[in-house]
Amino acid sequence: MSGEPTDTGLLGGGPTGTVYCTHLDTPVGQLLLTADPDGALTSLSVPGQKGGRTVLDGWRHDPGPFRAAADQLAAYFAGELKEFQLPLRPSGTDFRQRVWAALDAVPYGATATYGEIAARIGASRTAVRAVGGAIGANPLLIVRPCHRVIGANGSMTGYAGGIERKIRLLTLEGVLP
């Protein structure tokens, strides 16, 4: 062994298994960002997030790999950035990866329903619950905009970061007054 810290396999660590992490203060709370050795984001968690990440022994605290993410998040929260341009490398099944890619197609200032996301990936209407599960497992909150997915009746449902944060993000984007 090289003596390099390894992750649990959940975050898609790179060839050495090193996981870099940093905390970032934002208007929606302190975010925990993780990245692989190549600097690609593997997760972005908010405090109290259902299924959110926590720092593990052996992770390297280093803000260096996160400078672009920090700058883009600051611009997003200032209302100056509508689309993130960051290398992402979340770990998930093929189905989840397809759902997460469909989230990327929901533009700033717009919303989509769970059924619409299912249709975008060619899933049947009966797969909407599985699509909801994949959206709920999105490890890249804010950057991969699962907050833009709403219930078929327009309700603010199912956000792992909490409904209050979902409402704040959609208000920032001009979807809500």
Two structure tokens written together for 69: 């993410």
Cα gap 133→7, rounded to integer Å: 23
User: Edge-to-edge, what's the strand order for the sheet holding 60-61?
Assistant: 41-45, 29-35, 20-26, 60-61
Pairing of strands 29-35, 20-26: antiparallel
DSSP character at residue 146:
G
21 annotated active-site: no
Pairing of strands 20-26, 60-61: parallel
Residue type, 39: G
Cα gap 77→59, rounded to integer Å: 27
DSSP character at residue 140:
B
Catalytic option among 19, 21, 117, 146:
146
Cα gap 76→81, rounded to integer Å: 4
- Catalytic residues, by residue number, are 146
